[in-house]
Structure 1
Amino acid sequence: MVASITGTRAVVSADEVSELLHTSLALCPGDFSVHLHYPEDFLIIFAFREVEDRLAGDHFISGPGFPLSLRPWCKIAHAGSSRLD
């Protein structure tokens, strides 16, 4: 799953995103990890398929000072095309 800061581009750490996910989505420590990820802001990796399945789909969460958009990761989301010679 990928997470992006929406609205004003506040500087947000992976720890702040992790805390927001714990409190807003009732996740437990060890259920996931948060990593910096370009071009989105964060990549969320789930430890268990059951947790990932429970959170399938898009989510919008308002945190203290920043809104967060969550959506499934897609390996071709930012793919480009080029010509093969």
Structure 2
Amino acid sequence: MTDPFKNRTPSLNGPATDLLPISPSDVTDLPTVAVALYIEVAGTLSFVSQAGSIRTVEVAHQSILPVGTRRVNATGTTASGIHAFVVG
């Protein structure tokens, strides 16, 4: 199989290298800061941004939220099927 990522340096200017499922938690940060989130099922999303701010937004079905994210909080989150776009 040809791997177009083999000789490419991970970059915020390029595509994510993986998509990780998220289990919302009020205390545990993501293993890697997400460059964006994908949400399968609409609802409220409470998260801690890369800058450290707690934000709460309404998201639609199959949304992509292009914001650096450290944690998705369990409290205040009703959206589900949440995945993190990660680089590296």
Q: TM-score, normalised by structure 2?
A: 0.29
Larger Rg: 1
Larger relative helix fraction? 1
The one of the two structures with greater contact order (alpha-carbon pairs below 8 A, sep at least 6) is: 2
Larger relative strand fraction? 2
Q: TM-score, normalised by structure 1?
A: 0.30
